[in-house]
C-alpha cells in the first residue's frame, strides 16, 4: 500500500494488540469498509460519547480532545442539539422551496466574511470543487497554484490540487505547487520568498498554456505544517490578481473564530478573498459547507450553470449552523480562543526551552503547531519523534495528531471551548511524554 502523508503519518497499521472486543471491531470495519479507510494511533480509540472538550471510550475512560475542529463549539453542545432537534421535528427539505432559515443564516454569515453572496454544499471538498469551477468561469483560465503539501478535499478536481494525499494521487498538469511560508526556516524573508515562488508559478502556468485561474490556500497552511504568520499572503494575492487570477481562501480549518483574533484566518493577512470556502466546524458536526463569493466573480458561473445541491443548505443544517454562530457569540469563544490559546502556547514554549527536540512552537488562538526536530541548529525534521509523542499522548488519554510535509509537526487544534483546566491537563501530560523521549 502506498504512503499518503496526510492519511498515514498518524494511522493504525495493525499488529498492535488491543483487547479482544476492539480487535473484533477493527476487523469488522476493515472487512466492511475496505482498506482505503484509516484509523488514528498505534492503538485505535473506541469512542462512544462526547461532552465539551472531552470524549469517553467504551470503558468510560475520559480523553481530552485537543484535535477536533469539527465540533468547534464542543461535543454535543446543548444549544446546537436543541436547534437540530427542533428543526428536524418541524421540516427538512431542499433549497428549491422558500424557507426563512437559509436567508437568515446567509445574512449573518456574509456579514462576517465581507462578501455578498453564498452557495451551499455538504462538505469542504464540494465547496472547493465549486470554487474551482467559479474561478475558471470568471477568468477563462485553468491554472491553479497551491502549496506543496496542501489538502483541499477528495473529489476528483480537488484531489488534483491536494498533493499531501500522495499515494497513487498526482496533482494535475494545470497545477503548480509552491513551498508554504515556512517562518521557522525562512525568518524575515518568508513573505518575499513566498511572493517569488508565486510569481514563478504564474510564469510557468502561462508558458504551459494554462493561464492563471486562482491561488487557493488554507490561510493557516494547516497540512503544510501550520504557518500562521500574518501579512504573508497580501503581496502574493496582489500578484495573483495583477495576473488576472482570483484568490480562494480555504477556511475549513482556520475559520469560525479559531485564530482568536477574527472569524476568519484570512483577516490576519490583511486581505479579503474573492472566494471563501468553509466546511467542517460550520454546524458542529452536521455535514454543512459553503462557498462565499464576490457577486461579480460568481456572475459568469451563475449565469451559465444552474446549481442545485439536494442537501446543501437544508433547514436542519441551517438551524445547526445558525446555532453555532449563536454559541460563538454568546459564549465569547473567540476571546476564549485567544486567552486559552496564548496560555497553551506560552506553556509549550516554556517546556521547549528544556528539550532540544522541540524546535518551534507556533500558532494563533486555539491552533498550535509544535515542530519536532532531531537537531535544533540544523532544524532537521523528526518524523519518528512526532509519531512517538502523538502515541504517547494517546496512551495518556490526550488526543492530537501530526501534519507537515515531513509529518513532524504536532497538530493541536481543540474545540473552542477548551479551558484553562484543559490546558493544565494537556501540558502536564505533554511534559511527561516529552520527558520520556531520548535527548
CATH classification at residue 280: 3.40.640.10
The reply to whether 1 falls in a domain is no
pLDDT tens, position by position, 216-272:
999 999 999 999 988 899 999 999 999 999 999 999 999 999 999 999 999 999 999
Residue 12 has pLDDT above 90, yes or no: no
Rounded CA-CA distance 325/327 in Å is 5
**Contact status, residue 59 vs residue 397, Cβ threshold 8 Å:** no
pLDDT the model gives residue 16: 66
For residue 373, give the C-alpha cell: 526536530
Could you tell me the CATH number of the domain that includes residue 347?
3.90.1150.10
| C-beta of residue 390 within 8 angstroms of C-beta of residue 400 | yes
| C-alpha to C-alpha distance for 309 and 279, rounded to whole angstroms | 15
Quote the pLDDT of residue 1. Answer: 52
pLDDT classification of 110: cutoffs 50, 70, 90: very high
Name which of 86-90, 149-153, 169-173, 193-197 the model is least confident about: 169-173
Q: How many domains does the chain have?
A: 2
Looking at the domain assignment, is residue 399 inside a domain?
Answer: yes
Residue at which a domain ends, from 271, 303, 330: 330
User: What's the pLDDT tens digit per position in 89-103?
Assistant: 999 999 999 999 999
pLDDT band at 5 (very low <50, low <70, confident <90, very high): confident
Residues 323 and 342 grouped into a single domain:
no
Please check whether residue 3 lies inside any domain of the structure. Answer: no
- Residue 292: pLDDT band with limits 50, 70, 90: very high
Q: Write the CB contacts of 92 (distance below 8 Å, at least 6 apart in sequence).
A: 314, 315, 316
21 and 49 together in one domain? yes
- Let me know whether 174 and 289 are in one domain: yes
* pLDDT band, residue 13 (cuts 50/70/90): confident
Nearest to 199 by CA among 245, 236, 174, 161: 236
Which of 270, 302, 330 represents a domain boundary (last residue)? 330
The pLDDT tens digits for 389-437 are: 999 999 999 999 999 999 999 999 999 999 999 999 999 999 999 999 8
| Same domain assignment for residues 230 and 289 | yes
CA distances from 248 to 132, 237, 323, 365, 393 (A): 9, 10, 26, 22, 35
Verify that 67 and 184 share a domain, yes or no.
no
For the chain, the first-to-last Cα distance in angstroms comes to 33
Residue 56 lies in a domain: yes
Q: Are 165 and 172 in contact (CB under 8 A)?
A: no
Per DSSP, the residues of 215-267 read EEEETT-TTTT----TTSHHHHHHHHHHTT-EEEEE-TTTTTTTTSSSSSGGG
Q: Which domain holds residue 230?
A: 78-330
Position 4 in a domain: no
Q: What residues pair up with 52 in beta bridges, in sequence order? A: 75
Same domain, 195 and 325: yes
Mean pLDDT in residue range 80-90: 98
pLDDT above 90 (res 20): no
Q: Is residue 276 part of a domain?
A: yes
Q: How far apart are CA 297 and CA 278, in angstroms?
A: 18
Average model confidence (pLDDT) across the chain:
95
Task: Report residue 147 as a C-alpha cell.
Answer: 502549496
Both 166 and 178 in one domain: the answer is yes
pLDDT band at 21 (very low <50, low <70, confident <90, very high): confident
pLDDT tens sequence across 388-399:
999 999 999 999
Q: What CA dihedral angle connects 353, 358, 364 and 367, to 10 degrees?
A: -140
Percent of the chain with pLDDT over 90: 89
Whether 206 maps to a domain, the answer reads yes
**Residues 27 and 151 reside in one and the same domain:** no
Average pLDDT score over residue span 306-314? 93
Identify the pLDDT of residue 289: 98
Same domain for 184 and 248, yes or no, is yes
Q: Considering the domain boundaries, does residue 2 fall inside one?
A: no
Give the closest residue to 151 by CA, choosing from 274, 250, 286, 273: 250
pLDDT band at 438 (very low <50, low <70, confident <90, very high): confident
* Final residue before a domain boundary, out of 284, 314, 330: 330
Is residue 169 pLDDT above 90, yes or no?
Answer: no
Q: Characterize 206-239 residue by residue with b for buried, 16 or more Cβ atoms within 10 angstroms of its Cβ, and e for exposed.
A: eeeebbbbbbbbbbbbbbbbbbbbeebbebbbeb
In the sheet that 246-250 helps form, which strands lie side by side, from edge to edge? 117-121, 289-293, 275-278, 246-250, 214-218, 144-147, 175-178
Give the list of residues 6+ apart from residue 32 with CB closer than 8 angstroms, or none.
Answer: none
Residue 128 has pLDDT above 70, yes or no: yes
**pTM for this model (two decimals):** 0.95
Q: Give the Cβ contact number of residue 434 at 10 Å.
A: 21
User: The cell 472487512 sits on which residue?
Assistant: 31
**Claim to verify: residue 176 and residue 260 sit in the same structural domain:** yes
Co-location of 310 and 347 in the same domain: no
Same domain, 137 and 275: yes
Amino acid at each position: 500500500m502506498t504512503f499518503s502523508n496526510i492519511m498515514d503519518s498518524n494511522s493504525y497499521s495493525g499488529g498492535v494488540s488491543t483487547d479482544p472486543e476492539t480487535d473484533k471491531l477493527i476487523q469488522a470495519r476493515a472487512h466492511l469498509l475496505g482498506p482505503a479507510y484509516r484509523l488514528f494511533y498505534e492503538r485505535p480509540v473506541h469512542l462512544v460519547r462526547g461532552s465539551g472538550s472531552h470524549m469517553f471510550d467504551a470503558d468510560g475512560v475520559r480523553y481530552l480532545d485537543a484535535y477536533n475542529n469539527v465540533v468547534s463549539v464542543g461535543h454535543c453542545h446543548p444549544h446546537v442539539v436543541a436547534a437540530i432537534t427542533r428543526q428536524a421535528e418541524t421540516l427538512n427539505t431542499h433549497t428549491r422551496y422558500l424557507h426563512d432559515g437559509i436567508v437568515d443564516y446567509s445574512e449573518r454569515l456574509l456579514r462576517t466574511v465581507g462578501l455578498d453572496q453564498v452557495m451551499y454544499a455538504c462538505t469542504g471538498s464540494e465547496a472547493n470543487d465549486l470554487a474551482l469551477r467559479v474561478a475558471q468561469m470568471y477568468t477563462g483560465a485553468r491554472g491553479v497554484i497551491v502549496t506543496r503539501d496542501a489538502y483541499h478535499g477528495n473529489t476528483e478536481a480537488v484531489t488534483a490540487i491536494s498533493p499531501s494525499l500522495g499515494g497513487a494521487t498526482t496533482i494535475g498538469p494545470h497545477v503548480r505547487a509552491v513551498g508554504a511560508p515556512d517562518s521557522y526556516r525562512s525568518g524575515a524573508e518568508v513573505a518575499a520568498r513566498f511572493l517569488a515562488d508565486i510569481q514563478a508559478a504564474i510564469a510557468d502556468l502561462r508558458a504551459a498554456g494554462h493561464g492563471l485561474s486562482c491561488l487557493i490556500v488554507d490561510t493557516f497552511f494547516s497540512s503544510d505544517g501550520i504557518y500562521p504568520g500574518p501579512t504573508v499572503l497580501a503581496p502574493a494575492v496582489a500578484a495573483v490578481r495583477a495576473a488576472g487570477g482570483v484568490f480562494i481562501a480555504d477556511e475549513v480549518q482556520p475559520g469560525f473564530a479559531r485564530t482568536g483574533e477574527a472569524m476568519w484566518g484570512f483577516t490576519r493577512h490583511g486581505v479579503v478573498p474573492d472566494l471563501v470556502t468553509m466546511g467542517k466546524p460550520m454546524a458542529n458536526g452536521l455535514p454543512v459547507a459553503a462557498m462565499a463569493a464576490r457577486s461579480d466573480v460568481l456572475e459568469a458561473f451563475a449565469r451559465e450553470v444552474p446549481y442545485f445541491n439536494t442537501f446543501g443548505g437544508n433547514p436542519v443544517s441551517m438551524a445547526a449552523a445558525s446555532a453555532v454562530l449563536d454559541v460563538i457569540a454568546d459564549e465569547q469563544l473567540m476571546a476564549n480562543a485567544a486567552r486559552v490559546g496564548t496560555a497553551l502556547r506560552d506553556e509549550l514554549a516554556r517546556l521547549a526551552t528544556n528539550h532540544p527536540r522541540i524546535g518551534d512552537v507556533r500558532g494563533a488562538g486555539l491552533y498550535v503547531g509544535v515542530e519536532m526536530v532531531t537537531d535544533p541548529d540544523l532544524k532537521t525534521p523528526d518524523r519518528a519523534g512526532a509519531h512517538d509523542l502523538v502515541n504517547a499522548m494517546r496512551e495518556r488519554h490526550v488526543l492530537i495528531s501530526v501534519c507537515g510535509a515531513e509529518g513532524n509537526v504536532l497538530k493541536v487544534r481543540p474545540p473552542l471551548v477548551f479551558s484553562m483546566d484543559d490546558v493544565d491537563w494537556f501540558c502536564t501530560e505533554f511534559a511527561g511524554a516529552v520527558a520520556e523521549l531520548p535527548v
